[in-house]
Amino acid sequence: MKREFTCIVCPNGCRLHTEVENGAVTSVTGNRCPKGRDFAEKECTAPTRSLCTTVKTLGGGAPVLPVRTAGELPKERLFEAMAVLNAYTQTVPVYCGDVLIPDLLGTGCAVIATDDWAPEAAELK
């Protein structure tokens, strides 16, 4: 099976052409750096994505807090992760970099705050 996609690892944005047989990548062309081959193999066999979203807050300030995963999740678990985060409510205060969920879905990937949500932070904005 042949697959084509754009590499997102470095600024080159190479158009990668891959061939996959029996679940293994047999050929990668179009990459201008070694990272492209690694990206193609990962994308074809076990794709992952980082997740940026918002969670509800309780205790003042804005109704939602921006968050992201500290690493990447398996692509097939993104909707499951969103269901968890949509049901999650964070009490304030919370500060940028705080770990809100240490192990999302047992993946070892933490969810962290990407902004300050505290009374003193609101005064500075």
What are φ and ψ of residue 37, in 5° steps?
-65, -45
50 and 99 in contact (C-beta within 8 Å)? no
Task: Tell me: do 63 and 8 sit in the same domain.
Answer: no
Query: CB of 7 within 8 A of CB of 13?
Result: yes
CATH of the domain at 117: 3.10.530.10
- Residue 85 and residue 118 share a domain: yes
Q: Are residues 60 and 97 in the same domain?
A: yes
The side-by-side arrangement of strands in the sheet containing 99-101 is 89-91, 52-58, 64-69, 111-113, 99-101
Q: Could you tell me the maximum CA-CA distance found in the chain, to the nearest angstrom? A: 58
123: pLDDT strictly greater than 90: no
Indicate if 41 and 75 belong to the same structural domain: no
- For residue 109, the enclosing domain spans 52-124
In this predicted structure, the answer to whether residue 73 has a pLDDT above a threshold of 60 is: yes
Residue 62 has pLDDT above 70, yes or no: yes
Number of structural domains (the chain) is 2
Task: Name which of 54, 109, 62, 60 is nearest 86 in CA terms.
Answer: 54
Residues 117 and 62 in one domain: yes
Does residue 26 sit in the same domain as residue 68? no
pTM for the model: 0.82
